[in-house]
């Protein structure tokens, strides 16, 4: 059971989530105002059509021909305009909803790619996809109709109440008999709605993550004969999701059943009162028909107003999950101007890389991964980082790339004329990177290389491929550099993918080259050719590599070993 303070926190959270959401909606004030005006006009026409129907029925009963024609014409005209305004409202909702959906998607995706690497990496890609697509769709599909709905439903309630009070105040009392139940259950309903929405969205995120990960590793799953196991695991996840949805459905059905029973009682009370009034001659048949129509509308409009609360919570739940991503700190290229001023000198003469007494601990770690380390690399030099797997080599490369920031100490890049800049996301423009894992994208070979240099010519791409010893197999392909790679390089060998990745890094022609086990899939002769080509073609490039292969070390000026304590020591030749 929630304590009073927890309810206050819940309300504050919902308020903050709606404030964030209204930031997007406010850009479409005019459309929303038109939506509200059309909605209110449609309601007025509906009420007017009901009143016109009353006079039409009374005219039929009294055989008043003139009144029959005018009342019928008036009722039909109002009904027609109501249909037209309904179509206009639907169009506005579709246009605004699509725009809001696209804007949120664009903003959140941009925020994800600019967020600090360590913060965003704690989310599974499937969960991120679930939030970008599932939660954003839930918001866009609801908020556009919800905000105008607050005004239109209120207008409908007030309009129905005014008409009923005008003709018979006692009828209004009967129509409100369901209100105590609605008010008493609204708090409980809101709490349960929040709970079920959170559970459903979290579980759906796990399912999408499962899909993403298993499909990406389908080759490994098949190789180990684990297909039945993964199908079984999916069934477990789907069963959990089904249970949550069924529990939610059971709760909704129970609430709906109670509301239906109460609504039925109210309707028959109104009907009985109307029949009694008609029996007594206090009202006409037309008024009786109007009462029956408006009593249902009055009860349903009041119910709709009460349901706005749990609906608001449902929308806020989705918004809160997106806000969690938008609140992550982002890179801001704070030293971008300084880095650009150094660029010409760096590209021409290379950069000196210095690391002095640096210590770094991951946010979820308890002890430093690297501790008080120091090393250096000058233009034209290649240095190696060696040591057991998982001891910090890749972390040092992340520090060089500005993906993470040190706890203490400093890593910097220095030009030939002595200009110095601390390594950060701003200095990433000075680096090329060959990752350890498969890091090609869907598209052709040329597309993959042009990611780092969009204006690269075909000749420049071929030159980079030759340097990476990849042109030999690429030129034999049917479409050459325009051969499709496929998702995760499915139709290429690991060695071919590595050489394409190396070519991509070389095409960028940055003064610092970072290679993480970049030749692990190459044979010794190919490895030697690639490294010799790099050193010949780019004599001023500073190169930092991690490797487990002793053959790589002969190309290195210095070799640093990292131990289990995270210390770095220089290995004497």
Q: Are residues 372 and 249 in the same domain?
A: no
- φ, ψ of residue 83 to 5 degrees: the values are -65, -45
Q: Which of 326, 357, 380 is the endpoint of a domain?
A: 326
Q: Are residues 37 and 183 in the same domain?
A: yes
Q: Which of 298, 326, 354 is the endpoint of a domain?
A: 326
Q: Is the dihedral of CA 53, 56, 57, 58 positive or negative?
A: positive
Q: Are residues 85 and 231 in the same domain?
A: yes
Q: Is the dihedral of CA 486, 492, 495, 501 positive or negative?
A: negative
Q: Are residues 269 and 350 in the same domain?
A: no
In a domain, 2, yes or no: no
In a domain, 271, yes or no: yes
pLDDT at 423: 92
Using CA atoms, how far residue 8 sits from 5, 11, 14, 226, in Å, is: 5, 5, 10, 48
Q: Are residues 18 and 101 in the same domain?
A: yes
State how far the Cα of 511 lies from the Cα of 427, in Å rounded to an integer.
11
Could you tell me the CATH number of the domain that includes residue 501? 3.40.50.300
**pLDDT tens over the chain, length 573 residues:** 445 556 567 677 778 888 887 777 777 778 778 878 888 888 888 777 777 777 777 777 777 777 777 777 877 787 788 788 878 877 877 787 788 778 888 888 888 888 888 888 888 888 888 888 878 877 776 777 787 878 888 887 788 777 777 777 776 676 666 666 666 666 666 667 777 777 777 787 788 778 777 777 776 677 767 788 878 888 888 888 888 878 877 877 777 777 667 766 776 777 777 777 777 777 777 777 777 677 667 667 777 776 777 777 778 888 888 888 888 888 888 899 999 999 889 888 889 999 999 999 988 878 888 999 999 999 988 888 988 877 788 899 999 999 999 999 999 999 999 899 999 999 999 998 888 776 788 788 898 898 888 898 999 999 999 988 888 888 888 888 898 887 777 778 888 888 888 898 889 889 999 988 877 777 777 877 888 888 787 788 899 988 877 777 887 889 999 888 888 888 865
pLDDT at 1: 46
In a domain, 171, yes or no: yes
Q: Are residues 303 and 394 in the same domain?
A: no
Q: Are residues 344 and 306 in the same domain?
A: no
Q: Are residues 97 and 163 in the same domain?
A: yes
State how far the Cα of 477 lies from the Cα of 467, in Å rounded to an integer.
18
pLDDT at 492: 84
pLDDT at 560: 92
In a domain, 435, yes or no: yes
Q: Are residues 467 and 503 in the same domain?
A: yes
Q: Are residues 311 and 371 in the same domain?
A: no
Strand stretches in 324-419, DSSP E: 352-360, 370-377, 382-386, 408-414
Q: Are residues 284 and 417 in the same domain?
A: no
Q: What is the pTM of this model?
A: 0.74
The 8-class DSSP code of residue 134 comes to I
Side-by-side strand order, sheet with 420-422: 370-377, 352-360, 408-414, 420-422
Asked if 266 and 179 count as a contact pair (C-beta separation under 8 A), the reply is: no
pLDDT at 412: 94
Report the Cα 119 to chain-centroid distance in Å: 15
Q: Which of 276, 300, 326 is the endpoint of a domain?
A: 326
In a domain, 539, yes or no: yes
Asked if 489 and 438 count as a contact pair (C-beta separation under 8 A), the reply is: yes
Q: Which range of residues forms the domain containing residue 542?
A: 336-571
pLDDT at 136: 81
Could you tell me the CATH number of the domain that includes residue 258? 1.20.1560.10
State how far the Cα of 398 lies from the Cα of 437, in Å rounded to an integer.
14
In a domain, 81, yes or no: yes
Could you tell me which of 358, 387, 376 has the C-alpha nearest to residue 512?
Answer: 376
In a domain, 536, yes or no: yes
In a domain, 312, yes or no: yes
Q: Are residues 303 and 407 in the same domain?
A: no
User: Domain tally for the chain?
Assistant: 2
State how far the Cα of 35 lies from the Cα of 40, in Å rounded to an integer.
9
Angle CA(431)–CA(511)–CA(429) in degrees, nearest 5?
35
């Amino acid at each position: 059971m929630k304590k009073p303070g927890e309810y206050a926190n819940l309300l504050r959270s919902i308020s903050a989530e709606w404030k964030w959401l209204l930031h997007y909606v406010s850009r479409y004030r005019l459309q929303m105002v038109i939506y509200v005006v059309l909605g209110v006009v449609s309601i007025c026409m509906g009420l007017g059509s009901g009143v016109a129907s009353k006079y039409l029925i009374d005219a039929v009963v009294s055989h008043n021909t003139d009144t029959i024609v005018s009342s019928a014409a008036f009722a039909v005209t109002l009904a027609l305009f109501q249909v037209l305004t309904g179509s206009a409202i639907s169009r506005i909702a579709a246009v605004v909803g699509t725009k809001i959906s696209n804007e949120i998607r664009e903003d959140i995706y941009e925020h994800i790619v600019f967020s600090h690497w360590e913060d965003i990496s704690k989310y599974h890609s499937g969960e991120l996809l679930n939030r970008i697509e599932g939660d954003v769709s839930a918001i866009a599909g609801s908020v556009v109709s919800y905000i105008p709905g607050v005004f239109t439903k209120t207008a409908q309630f007030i309009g129905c109440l005014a008409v009923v009070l005008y003709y018979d105040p006692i009828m209004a009392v009967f129509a409100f008999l369901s209100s105590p139940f609605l008010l008493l259950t609204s708090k409980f309903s809101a709490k349960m709605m929040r709970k079920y929405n959170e559970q459903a969205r979290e579980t759906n995120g796990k399912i999408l993550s499962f899909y993403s990960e298993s499909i990406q590793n389908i080759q490994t799953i098949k190789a180990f004969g684990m297909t039945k196991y993964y199908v079984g695991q999916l069934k477990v996840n789907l069963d959990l999701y089904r249970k949550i949805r069924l529990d939610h459905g059971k709760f909704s059905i129970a609430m709906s059943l109670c509301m239906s029973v109460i609504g039925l009682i109210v309707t028959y009370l109104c009907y009985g009162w109307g029949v009694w009034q008609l029996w007594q001659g206090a009202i006409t048949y037309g008024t009786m028909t109007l009462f029956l129509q408006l009593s249902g509308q009055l009860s349903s409009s009041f119910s709709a107003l009460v349901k706005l609360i749990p609906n608001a919570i449902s929308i806020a739940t989705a918004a809160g999950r997106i806000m969690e991503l938008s609140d992550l700190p982002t890179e801001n290229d704070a030293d971008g101007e300084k880095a650009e001023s150094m660029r010409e000198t760096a590209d021409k003469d290379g950069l000196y890389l210095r690391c002095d007494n640096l210590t770094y601990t991951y946010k979820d770690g308890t002890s430093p991964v690297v501790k008080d380390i120091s090393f250096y690399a000058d233009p034209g030099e290649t240095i190696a980082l060696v040591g057991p797997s998982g001891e910090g080599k890749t972390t040092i490369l992340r520090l060089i790339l500005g993906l993470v920031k040190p706890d203490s100490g400093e890593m910097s890049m220095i030009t030939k004329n002595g200009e110095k800049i601390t390594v950060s996301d701003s200095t990433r423009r000075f680096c090329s990177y060959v990752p350890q894992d498969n890091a090609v994208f869907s598209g052709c070979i040329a597309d993959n290389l042009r990611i780092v240099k969009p204006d690269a010519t075909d000749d420049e791409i071929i030159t980079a491929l030759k340097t990476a010893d990849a042109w030999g197999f690429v030129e034999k392909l049917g479409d050459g550099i325009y051969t499709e790679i496929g998702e995760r390089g499915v139709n290429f060998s690991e060695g071919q993918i590595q050489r394409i990745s190396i070519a991509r890094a070389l095409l960028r022609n940055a003064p610092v080259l970072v290679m993480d086990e970049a030749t692990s899939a190459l044979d010794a002769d190919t490895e030697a050719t690639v490294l010799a080509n790099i050193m010949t073609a780019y004599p001023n490039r500073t190169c930092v590599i991690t490797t487990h292969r002793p053959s790589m070390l002969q190309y290195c000026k210095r070799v640093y070993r990292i131990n289990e304590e995270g210390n770095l020591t220089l290995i004497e030749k």
